[in-house]
Amino acid sequence: MPLGNSLGEYMFKVMSVRQIDLGGGQRRIEADYGGEVTGEAGGNHYGTLSVVVRTDDDPTKPNPYSWTGTTLTTSGLIVSVTGSGLSQRTGEGHKVRLRGVCHLSTTDARLTMLSKAIGGVEGEIDPATNTLKGVVCEWK
């Protein structure tokens, strides 16, 4: 299944980070981000990334992540975003690649096509600059 048109790009800065020891060599890392989203539902976005990592395993193995967020669009609308996928170190410093899917939801009639779409997400976390940037594309 190919990815289609870009639904928007995002550029976020980390606002806070929490690490929670889950026991058994697992840790959940939660990072709150805020920043700009472009596209039809562009505006300011705030969200939380949650990643479960094994502290006693190969750090290059993929780890599951989830995302929950909200975009406050420039037109005054609210778009909710949920997503999940896999994260993996790139081998370039501490950078992490994210690949997954997301669902956007809004009650605004002008953006109903977003509520019916599945988005393919690709992003990159750069801890050196405290940024998360990437793109969401329509999944056809």
In contact, 43 and 74? CB cutoff 8 Å: yes
Residues 12-51: tens digit of each pLDDT: 999 999 999 999 999 999 999 999 999 988 999 999 999 9
In contact, 119 and 105? CB cutoff 8 Å: no
CA distances from 113 to 17, 39, 98 (A): 33, 13, 24
Residues 88-125: tens digit of each pLDDT: 999 888 899 999 999 999 888 777 777 878 899 999 99
Average pLDDT, the chain: 91
The domain total for the chain is 1
In contact, 81 and 102? CB cutoff 8 Å: yes
Bigger pLDDT: 45 vs 55: 45
CATH code, domain with 65: 2.40.160.20
Q: Specify the pLDDT at position 103.
A: 93
Q: Is the pLDDT of residue 2 over 70?
A: no
Q: Which amino acid does the sequence have at 84? A: S
- Four-residue CA torsion sign, 22, 134, 40, 139: negative
Domain of 14 in residue numbering reads as 3-139
